[in-house]
Amino acid sequence: MNELNDKIKDFDFAAGELLLINKPYRWTSFDIVGKVRNAFKPLKLKVGHAGTLDPLATGLLIVCTGKMTKQIDSFQAEEKEYTGTMVLGATTPSYDMETEPDQTYDIVHLNEQYLKEACAQFIGEIQQYPPAHSAIKINGERLYEKARRGEDVELRLRTITITEFELTRIELPEVDFRVVCSKGTYIRSLVHDFGKAVNSGAYLSRLRRTRSGNFKIQDAWEVMELVSVIKGLKEAPPKPSPEGRAFEEDTISVFRETADPLLYEQLKDFSRSNRHYANEAENLLWQLLRNNSTGYKIRRQHAIDSYIADFVCLQKGLIIEVDGGHHHANKEADNERTEVLNQLGFKVIRFENSEVIQAPQKVYNIIATEIQSLPDRLKVLPTGEDLGGASL
């Protein structure tokens, strides 16, 4: 991508540019748009994307600036190509790895010939139900919001077109595939329906968009590389460490002493919030915390220096973390973050996903007790500390 650094000098973002970006895992499409838009500050520029990718998907995202945003609809309408992996023998409510498997099925009858022959029935114009855990709006509310509350979701058939659908690797229970399809196709639903077609179950474990119309992933920018070039930096910043590992203590100390807005912007660029996708347990706990009766405000995904807390009660200096399975290999990093946060005057309490899902009210009661038992935090927050936190 270095050869494009010179070309960007000729870009006219206000007049309109089309940018190809490789969306990272767990970033939302909105995260990408926000990161690009912020790179233009203080210039206020219209920025939008042409075709949402799920947070758990990666790959090509078309972002338009300025007057080019008027052509977003035409870019969205173009044919798409994806590669991915499905897991046979089980299903999940979300049709992907956002939720845990809820049913299992036999796969002893599956073989390569049977699986490849089943692909043929999905070629052409077909009818498809979107996943219950999708961003489609009905009566002004996203379907996934209803689904996460356990409510019945009204699903409506959609007509889509599959041009190509092939299996590229079969190592049961995993199967790799490539699909070329029309706008509006849910690959999660395609995988779910494929599982039914082979008298088993299936869910999506990996997805990557490799092409949209004539635009290919090979020509895409890495998001932080593009942001750096837009900002006029000579070199791309270092990549963020796994799971938002806290910055070195001396960096935090410099920030707290100076409250330099430029330094804070740099810290935000690599904060965990940019890659953090709330799981089922966090969303469940938030339903209780947002209506809390403690008398103290609790914020969600809030910035504390370079660290993004899942939940925080600033007045009491209490940080609440909900740790999913991906934290098990990062206990050392968690301990380091906790130590730094303790030095900054915060107490950290952690709950496992299973604790929240099995007994959310019990977890809430523990949090409420902690809040009532802690004295008000007397330490003054430095200017700008709460910037970047999303009070959802």
Which residues have a catalytic role annotated?
A: 54
Per-residue HEC secondary structure of 322-352 comes to EECHHHHHHHHHHHHHHHHHHHCCCEEEEEE
Q: For the chain, how big is the Rg over CA atoms in Å?
A: 23
Give the position of tokens 């006219």.
12
Distance CA 210, CA 57 (A): 11
Distance CA 143, CA 102 (A): 19
CB atoms within 10 A of CB 154: 10
By residue count, the chain amounts to 392
Between helix 280-289 and helix 360-373 the angle, nearest 10°, is 50
Distance CA 178, CA 169 (A): 10
Distance CA 125, CA 161 (A): 4
DSSP letter at 80 equals E
DSSP structure string for 122-187: GSEEEEEPPPSSS--EETTEEHHHHHHTT-------EEEEEEEEEEEEEETTEEEEEEEE-TT--H
Distance CA 133, CA 97 (A): 11
Alpha helices in the chain, H assignment, sequence order? 4-7, 29-39, 72-76, 112-118, 143-148, 187-197, 223-230, 249-258, 261-269, 280-289, 331-343, 353-358, 360-373
Distance CA 252, CA 258 (A): 10
Distance CA 39, CA 283 (A): 30
